[in-house]
Structure 1
Amino acid sequence: MFKVLIIDDEPTIRRGLINIINWKKFQCEICGEACDGIEGLEKIEEYKPDLIFADINMPEISGLEMIRSAKKIIPHSKFIILSGYREFSYMQEAIKVGAFDYILKPSSIEDICEVVKRAVMELKYQRDDQLETKKLKKCFEESIPLLKEKLLYDIIFQININEEEINEGFELYGISIDEFVMIIIEIDGESGHLEPYQKQLYQFGIVNTVEEMFADDFKVEKIVLSNNQIAFIICALTKSELLVDNVYKKAHSIQQLIESCFNFTVTIAISTKGNKVEALHEKMLECKNGLAYRFYMGSSSIILYRDLNGFYKSQERIAFDGYDKKLCEAIKTGNESDVAQILTQIEEKVHAVNLDPEQIKTFYWNLIYEINMIRISIKNLEVQDKDGNKDISNIYKMIESASQVNELQNLLKEAANSVVHRINRYNKKNINQILQNAMNYICENYTMPITLNELAEHTYVSTYYLSRMFKKELGKNFVEYLNEVRIEKAKELLKDNHYKTYEVAELVGIQDPHYFSKIFKKYVNMTPTEYKEQVVG
């Protein structure tokens, strides 16, 4: 129920408003009454009413002065002015201070009820918006751990390299990374053949053990890499010269606890010390490479990357890691500008390293193979292959016979551009078809209440995807397009004298005539009545 406060220095007015109007019909109840502005402010402070009737001319302070002060206490409540003053200046001042409406004394019960009805409708909209905002905020807060982990995952695998987005994400999720060590914990092979439920329990146990072990002196961020691998970013709460050594000591205790509590073993790889977010990808690679040496170290080992200096490690191969994945992801999304940029980065990197020609050919061979797999998958989705491009597999022979890096790079560009162009065409064709289906649905059903969720279900895409599509392709959101369709239909109906304005509103799917007039004026720059007079005469 919405609370109503009546403030007027005339007792008969207060009694009339309290007793004559059926407040329950409007889901309202009288919470109090006051005889002047001072008492009114006291009651407003006490009851925090949703709807306030106030006279302009009252003892002590005027109704307008009272509203100015009350707005600081209840900014979203609706103030309805009761006044015997018909001068426009009073109405203008009432609007300035934020009054919802201005009712002249005396007024009919019907007129007052109509104002109350509109005020309650807006209060309901506000309440629903607040509840929805609160619900969304709660969902967001509950999702922060997953969103934080997703952001860190994208960073360490270089899926997201946009510095601005990363900084925004860090600020939003409360992430701070300065000096750190990364560790990856992998469940040893004998524990690999477990049921999914058991694997999730094991993961939960590992995460709890690590967070508890490092809780006092370290800040920990986790990233689940797979069913049997979890990465942890370990940041010291105070500057530590022996950060890697301290983490190493904790790792021994973690192994012992996991084995004694959960009856399985883990291998732990520890990176060298890193600094800032830019080093996350490199330290993840150090841990991954460290785990690869379990062949020599055995299961249930703790492997420090700095201890691997005696082993052969192909630094050049590490330098190439990530380019293949970034290029393939850009191709899959049809992003031609990103593909061109990554191809340039690959070309620069190849010229910068001093590798055996066979290693370079192998790199290009593997990358073109991945691109060919993408080409085959998109070809299978199309009704028929109209591209007429030669099979990319024929390029392999050219790789073997290539004598210069530029020849290899040109072959890669040909393969990448061929596939990304095809995917781009395929995506645009689908986008246009989905959007056209959505627009047709709106044109056929504009007389009914239509939600974005309903439209998304009809077109078999998510609401987020459909909303972005409207904005990107039409330059307007779903609601704006729906309103435009309804207003265009309304303009046609208003040319017919048989229809009243409220009937036209209902015929185009807008049940509230007041809201219809507001929307109509926004799009046509005149009210429905003014438009009707102009076109019909």
Structure 2
Amino acid sequence: MYKVLIADDERLIRITLKNMIDWQALHCEVIATVKDGKEAYRIFQEVHPEIVITDLKMPEMDGIELITKIKKESRNTQVIVLSNYSDFELVRDAMKAGAFDYLLKITLEKEELTRIITQVKENCEEGGSSQNEEEKQGIKELQQCMVLSKNEHIIDVKEYQRALAQPIFQEYEDFYQLAYFRVDNINMLYEGKFKEHARLQSNLRDLIRESISLYVKHQVIFISNHSGVILFHSAEKLRIITICNSIMRNIEQYLDVHLSITLSDIQRTLKTYDEVYMQVVQAHEQRFYKGEGVLIHSEEGDLFHSLQMNDLQYHVELLEAVQKKNFHQANELIDKTLLYMRENHIVPRQVLEYTIFIIKNTIKI
């Protein structure tokens, strides 16, 4: 049974967290809920909980100081921080101090809390693995940088360099390739066959490892339960392409899900890792037009174009067709609209916004 300590100066938040999920079903027990960091630290020293959930802004002792003290005494204790939208700088400080992940109070839901607790438990279990503490810390620091970057936090390149300076990454300095992977249509899968999100990550990790030869040096770093990167120490591009295709094929065969991968070109220095990482993440949006289970090369570049509303009349014509109940014409216009988006390679987000705009106005009719 995993012991859980909750610290937040808002009584409602403490009550909500304690009652939001079935802790027993997750083999966890909330041993205490406290209103400040000082009391939380006292209980931590007495009981040594495996999991601590803490607010960042508290009286007596704030969340950053609490995390720092906890990590000095127990590296294996996993800390989750609670934040508001305006706490970006504090969240970064918390991640640097050793927090596992963060949750936004305003969007906190049962599924999200369950997901992160399940993932935290796995991290606790991995604490006893053969990987030494130095290696785990290096991977964790790089993982935190990538999580924050992907969520549009501004990360100083020095933070990446500090993480990549760990011994575990030194041999990648001469050359490497970076592969960003993500399960396609993940929201539908989470509603269906993979309601236990951490189980999906475990299955993905096993299949990725089985698909890569022991003679290819690599690191698999998950950013979420359904996405992550593979850092390959290889200058053989065709070999890595073959491995990536094998990974996608095996995951489709054994899990019956599609996974797409975006692969960087061969890199000769880790100094630009942050740029290369964001390039593969952004290039992965090509999947919007390429379909499911595809291998994308980041050097294809960002070929998206902005949607120019003044040049379009599809929405006007479509709304007129719906108003006249000419649904055959409406369907033809929908096909023309989608064809225009594909041929002009419009930014995926703008395609969705345009579609939502049409649907909302159609409903009004």
Q: Please give the TM-score of this superposition, normalised by the length of structure 1.
A: 0.30
Tell which has more relative contact order, 1 or 2 (C-alpha 8 A, sep 6+). 2
Q: Please give the TM-score of this superposition, normalised by the length of structure 2.
A: 0.43
